[in-house]
Amino acid sequence: MDTFLSEGSNLAGAVDRAFIFIFTISFIFTIGITAMMVYILIHFSRKKVKNPRQFTGSVKLEIVWTVVPLIIVLMMFYFGWVGFAPMRKVPANAMPIKVIGRMWTWDFDYGNGKISKELVVPYNRDIKLNLVSLDVNHGLFIPAFRVKEDVIPGYSNYLWFRPIIKDTFDIFCTEYCGLAHSGMVSKVIVIDSLAFEKWLVDLKVTGDVPDHPGLTIIKTNACLTCHSLDGTRIVGPSFKGLYGSKRIVVTDQGEKEVEAFDDYIKRSILDPNAEVVKGFNKGLMQSYKEVLKGEDLDKIVDYFRTSVEKK
Protein backbone atom coordinates (compact mmCIF):
# COMPACT_ATOMS: atom_id res chain seq x y z
CA MET A 1 0.00 0.00 0.00
CA ASP A 2 1.22 3.43 -0.86
CA THR A 3 2.46 5.54 2.04
CA PHE A 4 2.68 8.67 -0.03
CA LEU A 5 -0.39 9.17 -2.15
CA SER A 6 -0.19 8.21 -5.80
CA GLU A 7 -2.19 10.13 -8.38
CA GLY A 8 -4.47 7.25 -9.23
CA SER A 9 -7.05 9.04 -11.39
CA ASN A 10 -7.24 11.54 -14.23
CA LEU A 11 -8.58 14.14 -11.75
CA ALA A 12 -5.72 13.89 -9.26
CA GLY A 13 -3.17 15.98 -11.15
CA ALA A 14 -5.18 19.20 -11.16
CA VAL A 15 -6.09 18.78 -7.49
CA ASP A 16 -2.44 18.37 -6.59
CA ARG A 17 -1.45 21.40 -8.67
CA ALA A 18 -3.98 23.53 -6.76
CA PHE A 19 -2.67 22.08 -3.53
CA ILE A 20 0.96 22.80 -4.38
CA PHE A 21 0.11 26.36 -5.43
CA ILE A 22 -1.74 27.09 -2.16
CA PHE A 23 0.86 25.30 -0.07
CA THR A 24 3.82 27.13 -1.64
CA ILE A 25 2.32 30.58 -1.10
CA SER A 26 1.17 29.70 2.41
CA PHE A 27 4.60 28.34 3.28
CA ILE A 28 6.36 31.47 2.04
CA PHE A 29 4.00 33.73 4.00
CA THR A 30 4.19 31.67 7.19
CA ILE A 31 7.99 31.70 7.09
CA GLY A 32 7.94 35.42 6.23
CA ILE A 33 5.58 36.36 9.06
CA THR A 34 7.48 34.24 11.58
CA ALA A 35 10.86 35.60 10.47
CA MET A 36 9.47 39.12 10.72
CA MET A 37 8.28 38.50 14.28
CA VAL A 38 11.64 37.07 15.33
CA TYR A 39 13.43 39.99 13.68
CA ILE A 40 11.20 42.50 15.51
CA LEU A 41 11.66 40.77 18.86
CA ILE A 42 15.44 40.93 18.48
CA HIS A 43 15.88 44.24 16.72
CA PHE A 44 13.27 46.28 18.58
CA SER A 45 13.66 44.69 22.01
CA ARG A 46 13.13 46.97 24.98
CA LYS A 47 16.81 46.63 25.86
CA LYS A 48 17.78 48.24 22.57
CA VAL A 49 14.93 50.65 21.90
CA LYS A 50 14.28 53.25 24.59
CA ASN A 51 12.40 55.67 22.42
CA PRO A 52 9.73 53.87 20.38
CA ARG A 53 8.57 55.62 17.26
CA GLN A 54 4.95 56.80 17.36
CA PHE A 55 3.66 56.45 13.77
CA THR A 56 0.03 55.30 13.50
CA GLY A 57 -0.45 53.91 10.03
CA SER A 58 0.04 54.23 6.31
CA VAL A 59 -2.70 54.28 3.71
CA LYS A 60 -0.27 53.10 1.04
CA LEU A 61 0.71 50.03 3.01
CA GLU A 62 -2.92 49.24 3.87
CA ILE A 63 -3.78 49.31 0.17
CA VAL A 64 -0.81 47.08 -0.67
CA TRP A 65 -1.69 44.44 1.88
CA THR A 66 -5.34 44.50 0.94
CA VAL A 67 -4.84 44.25 -2.82
CA VAL A 68 -1.97 41.74 -2.88
CA PRO A 69 -3.74 39.15 -0.67
CA LEU A 70 -6.92 39.75 -2.66
CA ILE A 71 -5.15 38.90 -5.92
CA ILE A 72 -3.50 35.87 -4.35
CA VAL A 73 -6.72 34.43 -2.94
CA LEU A 74 -8.51 34.99 -6.25
CA MET A 75 -5.75 32.99 -7.93
CA MET A 76 -6.17 30.27 -5.33
CA PHE A 77 -9.90 30.26 -5.97
CA TYR A 78 -9.20 29.94 -9.70
CA PHE A 79 -6.86 26.96 -9.35
CA GLY A 80 -9.30 25.27 -6.97
CA TRP A 81 -12.13 25.80 -9.42
CA VAL A 82 -10.09 24.54 -12.38
CA GLY A 83 -9.28 21.34 -10.48
CA PHE A 84 -12.86 20.92 -9.38
CA ALA A 85 -14.94 21.79 -12.45
CA PRO A 86 -14.18 18.54 -14.37
CA MET A 87 -15.32 16.51 -11.36
CA ARG A 88 -18.93 17.55 -12.03
CA LYS A 89 -18.77 17.00 -15.82
CA VAL A 90 -19.23 13.29 -16.35
CA PRO A 91 -18.28 12.03 -19.86
CA ALA A 92 -21.36 10.73 -21.65
CA ASN A 93 -19.98 7.23 -22.19
CA ALA A 94 -18.87 6.66 -18.60
CA MET A 95 -19.64 3.22 -17.20
CA PRO A 96 -22.25 3.54 -14.42
CA ILE A 97 -21.88 1.61 -11.16
CA LYS A 98 -24.39 2.00 -8.37
CA VAL A 99 -22.83 2.43 -4.94
CA ILE A 100 -25.08 1.49 -2.03
CA GLY A 101 -24.00 2.70 1.38
CA ARG A 102 -25.60 1.46 4.59
CA MET A 103 -24.50 1.07 8.20
CA TRP A 104 -21.64 0.00 7.93
CA THR A 105 -20.84 -1.50 4.58
CA TRP A 106 -20.53 -0.65 0.90
CA ASP A 107 -22.14 -2.57 -1.95
CA PHE A 108 -21.10 -1.98 -5.57
CA ASP A 109 -23.94 -2.88 -7.93
CA TYR A 110 -22.90 -3.57 -11.54
CA GLY A 111 -26.50 -4.24 -12.65
CA ASN A 112 -28.26 -7.53 -13.41
CA GLY A 113 -28.00 -8.58 -9.77
CA LYS A 114 -24.21 -8.53 -9.78
CA ILE A 115 -23.09 -6.99 -6.53
CA SER A 116 -19.53 -6.85 -5.25
CA LYS A 117 -18.14 -5.86 -1.85
CA GLU A 118 -15.10 -4.36 -3.54
CA LEU A 119 -15.08 -1.78 -6.30
CA VAL A 120 -13.37 -3.48 -9.23
CA VAL A 121 -12.90 -1.15 -12.20
CA PRO A 122 -11.26 -1.41 -15.62
CA TYR A 123 -8.04 0.52 -16.15
CA ASN A 124 -8.23 3.79 -18.13
CA ARG A 125 -11.99 3.82 -18.56
CA ASP A 126 -14.40 6.52 -17.36
CA ILE A 127 -16.42 5.30 -14.38
CA LYS A 128 -19.47 7.03 -12.92
CA LEU A 129 -20.52 6.11 -9.40
CA ASN A 130 -24.17 6.77 -8.56
CA LEU A 131 -24.35 7.15 -4.81
CA VAL A 132 -27.32 5.82 -2.87
CA SER A 133 -27.81 5.54 0.88
CA LEU A 134 -30.25 3.13 2.48
CA ASP A 135 -30.16 4.71 5.94
CA VAL A 136 -28.10 7.70 7.11
CA ASN A 137 -25.48 10.02 5.59
CA HIS A 138 -22.27 8.41 4.40
CA GLY A 139 -19.32 9.74 2.42
CA LEU A 140 -17.45 7.89 -0.33
CA PHE A 141 -13.78 8.82 -0.31
CA ILE A 142 -11.01 7.38 -2.50
CA PRO A 143 -7.89 9.31 -1.38
CA ALA A 144 -5.69 8.09 -4.23
CA PHE A 145 -8.23 9.33 -6.80
CA ARG A 146 -8.84 12.69 -5.02
CA VAL A 147 -12.59 12.12 -5.14
CA LYS A 148 -15.14 12.35 -2.36
CA GLU A 149 -18.90 12.86 -2.33
CA ASP A 150 -21.49 12.43 0.38
CA VAL A 151 -23.98 9.59 0.11
CA ILE A 152 -27.22 11.02 1.44
CA PRO A 153 -30.62 9.30 1.67
CA GLY A 154 -33.10 10.76 -0.79
CA TYR A 155 -30.34 12.40 -2.82
CA SER A 156 -28.89 11.19 -6.09
CA ASN A 157 -25.32 12.37 -5.75
CA TYR A 158 -22.59 11.09 -8.05
CA LEU A 159 -18.89 11.23 -8.80
CA TRP A 160 -16.71 10.03 -11.63
CA PHE A 161 -13.07 9.27 -12.41
CA ARG A 162 -10.79 7.46 -14.84
CA PRO A 163 -8.30 5.20 -13.04
CA ILE A 164 -4.81 5.58 -14.50
CA ILE A 165 -2.79 3.28 -12.24
CA LYS A 166 -3.33 -0.47 -11.93
CA ASP A 167 -3.27 -1.06 -8.20
CA THR A 168 -5.46 -1.48 -5.13
CA PHE A 169 -6.53 1.64 -3.22
CA ASP A 170 -8.47 2.46 -0.04
CA ILE A 171 -12.11 3.49 0.14
CA PHE A 172 -13.21 5.21 3.36
CA CYS A 173 -16.54 6.44 4.68
CA THR A 174 -16.10 10.11 5.56
CA GLU A 175 -19.51 11.15 6.88
CA TYR A 176 -19.97 10.01 10.45
CA CYS A 177 -22.58 7.21 10.50
CA GLY A 178 -22.52 5.66 13.94
CA LEU A 179 -20.90 2.80 15.84
CA ALA A 180 -18.74 1.17 13.18
CA HIS A 181 -18.15 4.28 11.02
CA SER A 182 -14.40 3.60 11.00
CA GLY A 183 -15.07 0.03 9.86
CA MET A 184 -17.00 1.16 6.79
CA VAL A 185 -14.04 0.73 4.48
CA SER A 186 -13.47 -1.11 1.22
CA LYS A 187 -10.99 -1.29 -1.65
CA VAL A 188 -10.97 -0.15 -5.23
CA ILE A 189 -9.13 -2.57 -7.49
CA VAL A 190 -8.00 -1.35 -10.91
CA ILE A 191 -7.39 -4.11 -13.46
CA ASP A 192 -7.06 -4.51 -17.25
CA SER A 193 -10.22 -4.23 -19.32
CA LEU A 194 -10.00 -7.91 -20.34
CA ALA A 195 -9.48 -9.08 -16.79
CA PHE A 196 -12.38 -6.85 -15.75
CA GLU A 197 -14.75 -8.37 -18.32
CA LYS A 198 -13.85 -11.85 -17.08
CA TRP A 199 -14.23 -10.81 -13.45
CA LEU A 200 -17.67 -9.35 -14.15
CA VAL A 201 -18.83 -12.52 -15.91
CA ASP A 202 -17.59 -14.66 -13.03
CA LEU A 203 -19.17 -12.40 -10.38
CA LYS A 204 -21.91 -14.39 -8.69
CA VAL A 205 -25.41 -13.07 -9.13
CA THR A 206 -26.61 -12.44 -5.60
CA GLY A 207 -30.10 -11.40 -6.54
CA ASP A 208 -31.09 -14.92 -7.75
CA VAL A 209 -31.55 -16.68 -4.43
CA PRO A 210 -33.39 -14.35 -2.08
CA ASP A 211 -32.25 -14.38 1.53
CA HIS A 212 -34.28 -16.13 4.19
CA PRO A 213 -36.67 -13.42 5.50
CA GLY A 214 -35.12 -13.80 8.97
CA LEU A 215 -31.66 -13.13 7.55
CA THR A 216 -32.97 -10.05 5.78
CA ILE A 217 -34.20 -8.69 9.12
CA ILE A 218 -30.83 -9.52 10.69
CA LYS A 219 -29.03 -7.67 7.90
CA THR A 220 -31.24 -4.59 7.86
CA ASN A 221 -30.88 -4.15 11.61
CA ALA A 222 -27.10 -4.33 11.32
CA CYS A 223 -26.93 -7.29 13.71
CA LEU A 224 -23.97 -8.59 11.70
CA THR A 225 -21.80 -5.67 12.76
CA CYS A 226 -21.42 -7.34 16.14
CA HIS A 227 -22.44 -10.97 15.49
CA SER A 228 -20.79 -12.89 12.66
CA LEU A 229 -22.39 -15.67 10.62
CA ASP A 230 -19.15 -17.60 10.09
CA GLY A 231 -17.95 -18.12 13.67
CA THR A 232 -15.65 -15.07 13.81
CA ARG A 233 -15.64 -13.43 17.23
CA ILE A 234 -16.61 -9.73 16.97
CA VAL A 235 -18.27 -7.70 19.71
CA GLY A 236 -20.92 -10.30 20.50
CA PRO A 237 -21.06 -14.10 20.08
CA SER A 238 -21.29 -15.46 16.53
CA PHE A 239 -24.60 -16.72 15.14
CA LYS A 240 -22.93 -19.82 13.65
CA GLY A 241 -24.52 -23.01 14.95
CA LEU A 242 -26.54 -21.02 17.46
CA TYR A 243 -29.84 -22.88 17.43
CA GLY A 244 -29.99 -25.66 19.99
CA SER A 245 -26.44 -25.11 21.22
CA LYS A 246 -25.59 -25.10 24.92
CA ARG A 247 -23.91 -22.05 26.42
CA ILE A 248 -22.91 -20.60 29.78
CA VAL A 249 -24.53 -17.23 30.47
CA VAL A 250 -23.91 -14.72 33.26
CA THR A 251 -27.00 -13.34 35.01
CA ASP A 252 -27.49 -11.16 38.05
CA GLN A 253 -27.83 -14.40 40.05
CA GLY A 254 -24.59 -15.85 38.73
CA GLU A 255 -23.69 -18.23 35.91
CA LYS A 256 -26.02 -20.82 34.46
CA GLU A 257 -26.22 -23.07 31.42
CA VAL A 258 -28.94 -22.54 28.84
CA GLU A 259 -29.95 -24.18 25.59
CA ALA A 260 -30.43 -21.75 22.74
CA PHE A 261 -33.98 -22.48 21.63
CA ASP A 262 -36.77 -20.09 20.69
CA ASP A 263 -37.35 -18.58 24.13
CA TYR A 264 -33.69 -17.92 24.85
CA ILE A 265 -33.08 -16.33 21.46
CA LYS A 266 -36.10 -14.04 21.81
CA ARG A 267 -35.10 -13.12 25.37
CA SER A 268 -31.63 -12.25 24.15
CA ILE A 269 -33.04 -9.85 21.58
CA LEU A 270 -35.59 -8.17 23.84
CA ASP A 271 -33.58 -8.11 27.08
CA PRO A 272 -29.99 -8.63 25.94
CA ASN A 273 -28.28 -7.77 29.20
CA ALA A 274 -30.20 -10.18 31.45
CA GLU A 275 -28.21 -13.21 30.25
CA VAL A 276 -24.85 -12.43 28.70
CA VAL A 277 -22.80 -15.24 27.21
CA LYS A 278 -19.74 -15.80 29.37
CA GLY A 279 -16.67 -14.05 28.02
CA PHE A 280 -18.60 -11.19 26.43
CA ASN A 281 -19.32 -7.74 27.85
CA LYS A 282 -22.60 -6.58 29.29
CA GLY A 283 -24.22 -3.31 28.26
CA LEU A 284 -23.07 -3.17 24.64
CA MET A 285 -26.37 -4.24 23.12
CA GLN A 286 -29.62 -2.40 23.64
CA SER A 287 -33.09 -3.93 23.67
CA TYR A 288 -34.83 -4.30 20.30
CA LYS A 289 -38.26 -4.28 21.96
CA GLU A 290 -39.23 -1.10 20.14
CA VAL A 291 -37.66 -2.14 16.84
CA LEU A 292 -38.68 -5.74 16.15
CA LYS A 293 -42.24 -7.06 16.17
CA GLY A 294 -43.28 -10.54 17.29
CA GLU A 295 -43.40 -11.90 13.74
CA ASP A 296 -39.92 -10.51 13.05
CA LEU A 297 -38.63 -12.49 16.02
CA ASP A 298 -40.31 -15.65 14.72
CA LYS A 299 -38.66 -15.18 11.33
CA ILE A 300 -35.24 -14.68 12.93
CA VAL A 301 -35.65 -17.80 15.07
CA ASP A 302 -36.82 -19.71 12.01
CA TYR A 303 -33.72 -18.60 10.14
CA PHE A 304 -31.46 -19.82 12.95
CA ARG A 305 -33.31 -23.18 13.08
CA THR A 306 -33.23 -23.81 9.33
CA SER A 307 -29.62 -22.75 8.96
CA VAL A 308 -28.59 -25.36 11.54
CA GLU A 309 -30.87 -28.05 10.06
CA LYS A 310 -29.35 -27.59 6.58
CA LYS A 311 -26.04 -28.92 7.87
Partner 1 sequence: MNDSSTAVPLNFLNHKTGLWSWLSSTDHKRIGLLYLYSITVFFCVAAVLGLLMKIEKFAPGQTIMTAQTYNGMFTIHGIIMIFIVVIPGLAAVFGNILLPIMIGAKDVAFPKLNLFSWYVYITGAFLGLYSQFAHGHVPDTGWTFYVPYSAEATSNVVIALTAAFVLGFASILTGLNFIVTIHRMRAPGMTWFRMPLFPWSLYATAWIQILATPIIGITLLMVIAERTFQIGFFDPKLGGDPVLYQHLFWIYSHPAVYVMILPAMGVVSEIFPTFSQKPIFGYGAIVFSSLAIAFVGYLVWGHHMYTSGMSYQARWAFSLLTFLVAVPSAIKVFNWLSTMYGGSVDLKPPLLYAISFIFLFSIGGFTGLTLGSLATDIQVHNTEFIVAHFHYIIFGGMGFGFFAAIHYWYPKIYGRMYSNRWAYIAWGILFTGFNILYFPMFIMGIQGMPRRYFDYDPKFTLGQEISSIGAFILIIGLIAMISNLVYHRRKGAIAPANPWHGVTLEWQIPSPPPHENFDEVPVITHDPYVFDHPYTK
Q: Which of residues 218-247 bind partner 1 (CB under 8 A)?
A: 235
Return the biggest CA–CA distance within the chain. 95
Q: Which of 7, 107, 126, 135 lies at the binding interface for partner 1 (CB under 8 A)?
A: 135
Parallel, antiparallel or unpaired: strands 157-161 and 186-191? unpaired
Give pairs for 72-76: CB < 8 Å, separation 24+: 72/25, 75/21, 76/18, 76/21, 76/22, 76/25
Q: What angle do CA 260, 266, 256 make, to 5 degrees?
A: 45
Q: Which of 36, 194, 205, 248 lies at the binding interface for partner 1 (CB under 8 A)?
A: 36
Q: Which range touches partner 1 (CB under 8 A), out of 13-21, 106-114, 120-128, 271-279?
A: 13-21
- Which of 305, 262, 257 has its CA nearest to residue 277? 257
Q: Which range touches partner 1 (CB under 8 A), out of 20-28, 118-126, 199-207, 262-270?
A: 20-28
Q: Spell out the residues 6+ positions from residue 133 whose beta carbon is closer than 8 angstroms to its own.
A: 100, 101, 102, 151, 152, 153, 155
Pairwise CA distance, residues 156 & 46, whole Å: 63
DSSP state of 150: E
- Which of 80, 141, 310, 137 has its CA nearest to residue 212? 310
Instruction: Confirm or reject binding of residue 3 to partner 1 (CB under 8 A).
Output: yes
Query: How many residues lie near partner 1 (CB under 8 A)?
Result: 84
Q: Which is nearer to partner 1, 29 or 295 (CB)?
A: 29
Whether 140 and 129 have beta carbons less than 8 Å apart is answered as yes
Cβ of residue 61: shortest distance to partner 1, in angstroms? Answer: 7
User: Which residues, 137 to 196, sit near partner 1 by CB under 8 A?
Assistant: 137, 139, 141, 143-144, 146-150, 152-155, 157, 170, 172-183, 185
Cβ of residue 274: shortest distance to partner 1, in angstroms? Answer: 15
Build a one-symbol-per-residue string for 276-295: x at contacts with partner 1 by CB under 8 A, - elsewhere. --------x-----------
Q: Which range touches partner 1 (CB under 8 A), out of 80-88, 190-198, 245-253, 295-303?
A: 80-88
User: Which residues, 83 to 112, sit near partner 1 by CB under 8 A?
Assistant: 83-85, 87-88
